[in-house]
Structure 1
Amino acid sequence: MRFVIFVIFLLGVALAAPSSIDPGYNCKPGQKCWPSLQEWQHLNHTIDGHLYQTIPLGAPCYENSTYYDAAVCSVVENDYNNSIPRGGYYGQTYWPNWEACGTSGCSLLSSNPEVTLYSTCSLGRLATYYVDVRNTSHISAALQFAKVHNIRISVKNTGHDFFGRSTVPNSLAIWTHNLKSLDFHQTFTAHNCPSANAQNVGEMGAGVIAGDAYRFFNSHGVDITGGYEESVGIAGGFGQGGGVGDYTTTYGLMVDNAVEFEVVTAEGQVRTINECNDPELFWAMRGGGGGTYAILTKYRVQVYPSVPVHTYNFLATFKDTTNATQQQGLREVLTAHANNQIIWSSQLVTGQVDYSTKGVSFGLVLPYADDGSRLKRATASFFQTVSNLTYVNVLENNYTSFPTYTDYLAFSAIDARATKPPGIFSLLASRLMPRHLFNASETVDSLVSAVIEGMEKARRLLPLQRTGAQVVLETPLSTPDNNQKTSALPAWREAMWHVIHVGEWYEPLAPAALQKATDGFLEMLEPLKKLSPGGGAYFNEAHYGEPDWEQTFFGANYNRLLDIKNKYDPTHIFDCYKCVGWRGEQE
């Protein structure tokens, strides 16, 4: 009889009009509202056996864990520092500080996965249960179950997330990682929307990772406007929060190229949305962040004919060992970089530059249908300047061309594995720097000094750890979005640099040390903020402690986005950290 009552109640909720009352979604294990084992089993039956209790990735390697298994542990250790197989486990995040909760977690030591980092294994921030979604009906059922029991929902794909938005303790997680469909439409007919019909449109399931998308579309002679990290879930937070990569300077952000989405809305309804159907929701999901308004299941996006990819690589160390001379070398290269940025942007050169207090690595990129001559002309002045700097020891200063983007990725993936390995702890602080700063020597000097000041502070905050600054040239200057077709942060359209201060470490920091670093990384942004009043930071790659997050991440779009959020998700079942409509930490 109990199950009959439960099923009737569940169906009643599914058929009722959506409530506008926010219940909090704060039920926790051990409370009366928490579902019984039988109720969890019923949900599992409803979704074809795809409900799982979360097991942290490192659990089989903890001898005092219920899940200890030496054979399974061996597989985990082998995959631990490989981002692609790692992303195939629900019970992990790319950066383990978002797996842990304070001093509790279940991670392994990245530099030696045979070592466990905690005395015992715990769930940390990971969800209690997750639904391994294989179709839209699984999402609809999970949403209705969460509403009946007042349980918070979290949405996760690969765990490649600098804010930990995809890991929420005591939640029911929607894991979209196995929605892997890929398709290419040479002629695309949009759903009930002739104005959105197009040529060369790619279609991806929500779980497709970037590398698979690049190879699939390249096999059809086209390329997609994704990022460069192959393990990122390209249609998820990346493709809904902006999406920057090697094609951004040429074709804009990934959200600029979105044509149509398939989504499941808060009431469990499956919708195909575009500029004609639910245009407000479509606009919000084109830049306003993932996991906020609806759960995306398919992403349809404009793709472009493949062209060769040309690169310029400059690798150098700073001479001598004193801080003063190293800082002088750093200043020389940063200034030369800033002085050349206007011409690089005008020629659509993109790429990333990694600065440390000891050296620098440039990886400039230009996808273009020539033999590399355009890139060489654009960088000729810089090439000559950095060959003759006083405090710089040049190790590489050369050009390489690749026939296709997938050929280039085979090269760049090796570098990414070495410079941005998964399984290490990470902290970011970033700011978008507008083009007017590059027009005069005085403002260039101020910009260079602000970046160096932040780098020096990071080194003091995290001694003996990996610190530095990354300057990203992947800004959408070619797509001004004058008609506001997307909800991406307006500051993107004026930015020439996306400056990211980075700190990385291998073992958990003591709470006091972590708090000091977190506060310090926020403080180090002040010089950059003073140079960019009214600007902002990239929603996907910013400081998670940003106090003025509504303005910083969304700018003038925030109020409109909030209205759309309240319309399509009136009870805030999708409530991710510092996303539009975030209610704050719930007790």
Structure 2
Amino acid sequence: MFLVSFTAILYGAVAARAHYPYSPGINHVSPAQWSALNASVSGKLHGGIPLARPCFTLANTAGSADPAKCAAIREGYSNSRFLVEQFGAYMNVQWGSCQKTTQTCVLKGFNITDPSPSNPPNVCQQGSVSPYYIDVRDASDVQKALAFSKRTGVPLVVKNTGHDYEGRSSAPGSLALWTHNLQSLSYNVSFVPAGCPASRAKPGVTMGAGSIADNVVAFAEANNVTVVAGAERSVGASGGWLMGGGHGALANTLGLGVDRVLEFKIVTPTGQFLTANECQNSDLFWALRGGGGGTFGVVMESTSLASPKMTLQVAFAHFSRNNTNATRGFYKVVAENSVRWAEQGFGGYIESFQALYVTPKLNSTEAAATMQPLFDYVKALAPNDPGVQILNLEVPSYGTFYQTFIANSGAPVGENAVVASRLIPAANFASAENRTALVDALMQTLAHVTFGLTLIATTPYNVPDDGSTSVTQAWRTAVWHAIAEGGWDGAVPLDEEKSAYSGISAAADFLRAITPDGAYQNEADVNEPNHEVSFWGSNYPRLLQIKKKYDPENVLSCWHCVGYNPRSPRFSCYI
């Protein structure tokens, strides 16, 4: 990791405080106060330096130019496993920038060897990267940070892996709590949530807040169990992914991450270290099961249900990406069959030129038969399309599926990415007329995105809402979770940034027009209209009550989170 000494914090980074007019707390904190905080957390306070700082000669932030470190950064700029180890890195790089003022320190993700972004007169600026962070290793680190924030007014943010499409893990002039290094993993075949009777025992995997999908899936495989995990290898399994819902390829039959969590250990904004489960602090447990990360407290670890290792059927169909004439027909086929496939346990990922499905409910013969319409359509393209691929196979475990199909794919990183999402309910597939309207909307959305459109069939279609989670009820009737993605490369003028956000919102409007309010908060439009209902449905009023109970001073706040104030200075870099 590229860290800076605490001496450098005081005598190098201190000058950067002048660049935070929106966060008066940090401007009034003395070096002695920072030193005292560092001592109280046993030297775990560090200076937050933008990832690309070593590539810049000129800078208004701590750190220095370093050709060797710059070469490593360029090599790892699009590698999420590299980025997750760097505090100053964000998977979508605009969240390390102050977009409103265009203060940034980024390279070109599409052409990483281009030296022009870091050459003079360009200057590396702190942007929204927290100038100070605590490398959290235990609950007392969080408690000390909370007390410091209340004394000084310095805003807090919680950063885990940096996978956040809404910038909730960064803020200008803030103190960050970096939970990435909470990496513990354990398996208990008879886990009993604290305070519950022994009859509640279930097999559970306990994960430190920083545990990432790669490690969790490998750990589960080694212990002959199955867990639900995200589709990007470095997404944190106990952080915002989980608390926002947490979908994965097996969510159709096993449920969202929030359906499977058995217990949280959390430091609340009032400084209490609590255990939350069905038997104690059950209101907080409910809120954490869908209410969103960085809101109700700082999760230190979670325990999730472990299922037996299971045999899976995999179906894959692909044609050339530039064969755009085939896309409408492809959408038509998947729209005609998706409800049936959902009922048969298929989860997966659909793009405009390919589909990947997996189910634990069928055998190989049944899976091949039900996927025949998809295979037939793509096979018919083969005479004029050398890119056609068809695959129908059985794998012995989720770990095998993950390593074969997921680990080396996932969301793009190292670029400025903006998204908008929509939950597409079964009603949109119910008649030929509805399916035609859906395909029309998909084609219109696709025509208005700059990066792509992904239809994610990872909704908990076979896991009904039992009232135990706080995600929107729209998840339970959805067949797809659609994500439209756009963005820009490197540093651009403010009007181009604004255009990217407004453009992706306009693209999603075609799907909004034919669906009720429902979106996945972790992959949502930054300007999502009616976000309280879209993210939480009728659960929002109760979530707000719980927020006020456990965080009466609103110490933890993030964009479009429960109880947020859009006029807060911590959101001054949003556009």
Q: Same fold (TM over 0.5)?
A: yes
Alpha-carbon spacing, 1:392–1:504, altered in 2? closer, same or farther (3 Å) = farther
CA distance in 1, matches of 2:408, 2:383: 25
**Structure 1 segment 42-441 matched on structure 2, within 5 A:** 42-65=36-59, 66-102=63-99, 103-114=102-113, 115=115, 117=117, 119-194=122-197, 197-317=200-320, 326=324, 328-355=325-352, 360-367=353-360, 370=363, 372-388=364-380, 393=385, 395-413=388-406, 415-416=408-409, 420-441=411-432
CA distance in 1, matches of 2:268, 2:73: 35
Q: Deviations over 1:476-529 (max 9, x none)?
A: 011112x31000111101100111111144323322122123112212222312
More deviation, 203-212/513-522: 513-522
How high is the sequence identity, in percent, across the aligned residues?
33
Give the counterpart of 2:440 among 449, 471, 474: 449
Q: Deviations over 1:297-355 (max 9, x none)?
A: 010110111113332111113787xxxxx3x5221110111001011011111110112
Alpha-carbon spacing, 1:197–1:267, altered in 2? closer, same or farther (3 Å) = same
One-letter amino acid of the counterpart of residue 487, structure 1: S
- 1:35 corresponding residue in structure 2: 29
Q: Deviations over 1:360-392 (max 9, x none)?
A: 02111224584x333212212322233336998
Give the counterpart of 2:499 among 516, 534, 542: 516
One-letter amino acid of the counterpart of residue 247, structure 1: L
Structure 1 unpaired stretches of 5+: 1-24, 321-325
Alpha-carbon spacing, 1:564–1:279, altered in 2? closer, same or farther (3 Å) = same
- What is the deviation of 1:178? 0.4
CA contact (8 A) 2:232 2:407 kept: no
CA distance in 2, matches of 1:39, 1:78: 38
CA distance in 2, matches of 1:43, 1:501: 43
**Residue 453 of structure 2: SS of its match in structure 1?**
strand
One-letter amino acid of the counterpart of residue 137, structure 1: S
One-letter amino acid of the counterpart of residue 38, structure 1: A
- 1:539 corresponding residue in structure 2: 521
- 2:564 corresponding residue in structure 1: 582
2:458 equivalent to 1:474: yes
CA distance in 2, matches of 1:26, 1:178: 27
Alpha-carbon spacing, 1:266–1:29, altered in 2? closer, same or farther (3 Å) = closer
CA distance in 2, matches of 1:111, 1:454: 23
CA contact (8 A) 1:27 1:149 kept: no
**Residue 432 of structure 1: SS of its match in structure 2?**
strand
CA distance in 2, matches of 1:287, 1:496: 19
CA distance in 2, matches of 1:27, 1:507: 29
**Residue 160 of structure 1: SS of its match in structure 2?**
coil
2:494 equivalent to 1:494: no
One-letter amino acid of the counterpart of residue 299, structure 2: L
- What is the deviation of 1:56? 1.1
Give the counterpart of 2:547 among 565, 572, 587: 565
- 2:12 corresponding residue in structure 1: none
- What is the deviation of 1:198? 2.2
**Residue 301 of structure 2: SS of its match in structure 1?**
strand
Alpha-carbon spacing, 1:283–1:216, altered in 2? closer, same or farther (3 Å) = same
CA distance in 2, matches of 1:290, 1:473: 23
CA distance in 2, matches of 1:38, 1:561: 39
Q: Deviations over 1:204-246 (max 9, x none)?
A: 0000001100001111100111112111011100011000001
CA distance in 1, matches of 2:126, 2:283: 37
One-letter amino acid of the counterpart of residue 186, structure 2: D
CA distance in 1, matches of 2:413, 2:394: 28
- What is the deviation of 1:567? 0.6
CA distance in 1, matches of 2:345, 2:491: 40
- What is the deviation of 1:38? 1.0
- What is the deviation of 1:263? 0.3
Tell me the matched-pair count.
Answer: 538
CA distance in 1, matches of 2:425, 2:351: 19
Q: Deviations over 1:409-435 (max 9, x none)?
A: 222246416xx3310111111110110
More deviation, 438-447/186-195: 186-195
Structure 2 unpaired stretches of 5+: 1-21, 570-575
Query: What's the RMSD between the two structures over aligned residues?
Result: 2.0
User: Runs (4+) of structure 1 moved beyond 4 Å?
Assistant: 389-392
CA distance in 2, matches of 1:376, 1:499: 25
One-letter amino acid of the counterpart of residue 502, structure 1: E
Q: Deviations over 1:420-454 (max 9, x none)?
A: 33101111111101101111100000001011111
Q: Deviations over 1:553-583 (max 9, x none)?
A: 1111111100000010000011011000001
CA contact (8 A) 1:160 1:232 kept: yes
TM-score, L = length of structure 2? 0.90
**Residue 314 of structure 1: SS of its match in structure 2?**
strand
Q: Deviations over 1:393-422 (max 9, x none)?
A: 3611222333232222222246416xx331
CA contact (8 A) 1:313 1:362 kept: yes
CA distance in 1, matches of 2:133, 2:456: 35
Q: Deviations over 1:165-189 (max 9, x none)?
A: 1011111111100001100000112
CA contact (8 A) 2:159 2:169 kept: yes
**Residue 179 of structure 1: SS of its match in structure 2?**
coil
